[in-house]
A = this chain, B = another copy of it.
Amino acid sequence: MMDPASTTHPTTRRHFLAGAAAATTLLASAGCADAMKHASKGTPCPMIEPGSVILLQGDSITDSGRDRKRQDNANDARAMGRGYALLAAAQLLAEQRDTELKIYNRGNSGNKVFQLADRWDKDCLALKPDVVSILIGVNDIWHKLGGRYDGTVEIYERDYRALLERTRRELPEVKLIVCEPFVLRCGAVNDTWFPEFDSYRTAAKNVAKAFNAVFVPFQTVFDKAIQDTPPAHWAADGVHPTMAGAQLMAQAWLAAVSNA
């Protein structure tokens, strides 16, 4: 039943404190405190103003087992899933200490970008969010590789742009966060994904730039993490993050938001 480790592993890397320090350096180095000084340059900071409504959107990576029956409750742990959305929300609520902040998760497992569009009225616009964060793309290529979808990267980028145009039209003041699709080279992810997968990452980055959205470089974060720790530690199947992977994502998301 159990597989308790009965021996020590002297070769295992330990850099707990180094990791914690690095994460905070990331948060603090060019964070809101700095950006606020440059407010006259039009820097959209603080990105998360007091009382903001924040919406996290995406596929299964955002969904992470959220309880849909509670999805209308802001800041509800059960409605937030067990992934980066929960980890980032918990940290934001603990550190921002803003009792008026409202965070929602509406990620749906299996979604591609056109499926976000299909449910955008009720799962985004109706919430009147001040901040919308989107992580979408891995299914757009994965389901194609599996023969279940005939989309292309051009369709992905076109649909993504249309979605953000519609969002900006309906919510002119909305602040946008576009998250980089990512994979780890293990589990379901093999050489057949490349170089095509990289074109989806480029498309997401192009979309972020075109809409002046904050870009969260998840692939960069994971590429760095696998330099000293195997890919499966971060995402056993190459697509869905472990707890450790979700934590890295939450830190990267918070760092990007703080830098905005």
A interface residues, Cβ below 8 angstroms from B: 1-10, 12-17, 19-21, 23-24, 27-28, 31-33, 46, 48-53, 64-65, 72, 74-75, 77-78, 80, 82-83, 86-87, 89-100, 102, 126-130, 225, 228-230, 232-233, 242-248, 250-251, 258
Q: How far is the CA of A203 from the CA of B242 in the complex (A)?
A: 37
Q: Name which residue of chain B comes closest to A50, CB basis.
A: B12
Some 29 contacts from A to B, beta carbons below 8 A apart, are: A4-B53, A4-B127, A5-B51, A8-B49, A9-B50, A13-B98, A15-B96, A16-B32, A16-B48, A16-B96, A17-B31, A19-B95, A20-B27, A21-B24, A64-B77, A75-B243, A75-B244, A77-B246, A78-B82, A80-B243, A82-B86, A87-B87, A90-B247, A94-B245, A97-B228, A97-B229, A97-B244, A99-B229, A99-B230
CA distance A251 to B91 in the complex (A): 10
Contacts of A24 in B (CB 8 A): 20-21, 23-24
| A82→B77 contact, CB < 8 A | yes
Answer whether A242 and B77 are a contact pair too, CB < 8 Å, given A90-B247, A102-B4: yes
- The answer on a CB contact under 8 Å between B97 and A1 is no
Residue A102 contacts which of B5, B7, B49, B229 (CB distance < 8 angstroms)? Answer: B5
* Cβ–Cβ contact B247 & A93, under 8 A: yes
Who on chain B is nearest to A243 by CB?
Answer: B90
A80:B82 contact, CB within 8 angstroms? yes
Residues of B within 8 A of A27 (CB): 17, 20-21
Contact A99 B12 (CB under 8 A): yes
Docked CA distance A203–B125 (Å) = 52
With contacts A20-B27, A243-B80 taken as known, whether A15 is within 8 angstroms of B126 at the C-beta atoms is no
Bound together, the chains give a CA A131 to CA B151 distance in angstroms of 50
